[in-house]
Amino acid sequence: MKNKKTKLYSVGLLTAIFAAASFSGPSFQREDLTKKIDLSANQKTILENAMSKAAQSRTSADVLREKIFDNLNLKTDTPETKTPEPKPAPAPKPAPEPKPEPEEKPKPSTPTQPEVPSSGLSAEGIVYWTNYYRKQNGKSELKRNAKLDKAAQARVKDMFDRQYFSHTTPSGETFSAAIRAAGYSYYGVGENIAYGSYKDDKTLVTAWYNSDGHRHNMLNSKYTEMGAAAGYGMFKGKNRWVAVELFGQPK
């Protein structure tokens, strides 16, 4: 009977030990349990040892749990709050490349033409004032002839091109060669030429009229037709007028 009681007590003691091991904590004192259970001195010693080991086991378990939590980077007191990672700022848009300005193509150089004075010389004016002086001297008017005009234009151009001023070309041809080249048939021909700065046709023809040789051509009664031409350009290093009037006695 004593053995059975002792075994039952041992079971009760074991149950008490497990209870103490399960519910012991910082505020739980070992004396609280021993006071509530009627134990012998030997049993109390056994219970206290068991409770001490249980407390040590709990302490070891707590330390192990804290180490596990630390290794897992967890916190037991407050819930983990994740700090939102800052979003990367949007990459700036590349600045548009400046469009190259179109290159200006050089304009083809054109030979500069001399500015012709508004008041100057003309074939019509030369014919008009020549006939004016003929009438003043009782002479018949000269008829204008297209072939003589053409020959006069050729003479003006040739003097500008070869930069000479003469009734004879640098190659030795006389003005009559230009008349023949224009297709004009004649019994007699004459020529007046001039170069310089002239205000107008009247000034030019008056200058011829005041010269004996030129006036003789203008008033010659055998001439019945005439042609004229005038041009403005670079002549002997300066911008000048060159004028020609031709007289003819056609066949």
Over the stretch 56-65, which tens digit does the pLDDT of each residue have?
655 555 555 5
Percentage of the chain exceeding pLDDT 90:
52
Q: What are phi and psi of 225, to 5 degrees?
A: -135, 160
User: What mean pLDDT do residues 37-44 have?
Assistant: 65
Handedness of CA 162, 166, 172, 175 (dihedral sign): positive
Across 192-204, average pLDDT: 96
Identify the band that residue 251 occupies on the pLDDT scale cut at 50, 70 and 90.
very high
Lowest mean pLDDT among 111-115, 116-120, 173-177, 245-249: 111-115
Could you report the per-residue pLDDT of 107-135, keeping only the tens digit for each? 544 445 445 555 589 999 999 999 999 99
Instruction: Look at residue 24 and tell me whether its pLDDT is greater than 50.
Output: no
Average pLDDT value for residue range 5-10: 45
Strand-strand pairing, 186-196 and 225-235: unpaired
- Which residues fall within 8 angstroms of residue 187, CB to CB, at 6 or more apart? 222, 249, 250, 251
142-158 pLDDT, tens digit each: 999 999 999 999 999 99
Average pLDDT, the chain: 77
What percentage of residues in the chain have a pLDDT greater than 70?
Answer: 55
Distance of CA 67 to the CA centre of its chain: 71
For residue 62, what pLDDT is reported? 59
Confidence (pLDDT) at 120: 87
User: Tokens at residue 62, please?
Assistant: 């707590």
